[in-house]
């Protein structure tokens, strides 16, 4: 299975991980699962940018899926997040998340990951409120 890496140079939900560390984690995930790792595309540091992940999705006919560093790199905007994931599922492709050792291949898997995503977002919001 060939997976294209997806990393970011910006923070995501309060986390910031250097690009080279993201690639090390992704490469290790692919090695352990015997996937072919294709070099990562790096999302632009423009706030709310999804240009690179959309580019990867447009090229999915050439590969089996995407491997991202973390589920928390998905767009914060719910509608955009749903649209991207449903495009991947609709193409019968996969998106993997190396840190969490999870993947999305169908709506049930997406629902589980979306629950985790929502909990993390609520926790971050509550932490921000506590700082005031």
Cα 75 to Cα 49: distance, rounded to the nearest angstrom: 8
Q: Which of 34-38, 101-105, 127-131 has the lowest mean pLDDT?
A: 127-131
Task: Specify the pLDDT at position 124.
Answer: 67
Contact 15, 72 (CB under 8 A): yes
pTM: 0.89
Q: What is the CATH number of domain 2-130?
A: 3.40.50.1390
Cα–Cα–Cα angle for 70, 81, 60, rounded to 5 degrees? 75
For 84, other C-beta atoms within 10 Å of its C-beta total 20
Q: For 33-84, write each residue's pLDDT tens digit.
A: 999 999 999 998 888 889 999 999 999 999 999 999 999 999 989 999 999 9
Task: Give the total residue count for the chain.
Answer: 132
CA max distance for the chain: 49
Q: Map tokens 């190396």 to a residue.
A: 98
96: tokens are: 């993997």
Q: Across residues 89-102, what is the average pLDDT?
A: 97
- Where helices occur in the chain by DSSP H, the ranges are 19-33, 51-58, 78-90, 107-130
Domain boundaries, the chain: 2-130
Q: Across residues 22-42, what is the average pLDDT?
A: 96
Task: Specify the pLDDT at position 85.
Answer: 97
Task: Specify the pLDDT at position 99.
Answer: 95
């Amino acid at each position: 299975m060939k997976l294209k890496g997806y990393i970011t140079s910006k923070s995501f939900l309060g986390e910031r991980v250097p690009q080279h560390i993201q690639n090390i984690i992704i490469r290790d995930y692919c090695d352990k699962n015997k996937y072919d790792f294709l070099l990562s595309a790096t999302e632009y540091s423009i706030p709310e940018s999804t240009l690179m992940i959309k580019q990867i999705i447009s090229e999915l006919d050439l590969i089996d899926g995407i491997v991202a560093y973390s589920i928390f790199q998905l767009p914060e905007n719910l509608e955009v997040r749903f649209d991207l994931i449903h495009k991947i599922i609709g193409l019968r492709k996969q998106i993997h998340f190396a840190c969490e050792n999870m993947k999305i291949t169908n709506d049930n898997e997406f629902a589980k990951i979306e629950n985790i995503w929502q909990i993390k977002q609520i926790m971050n919001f509550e932490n921000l409120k506590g700082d005031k």
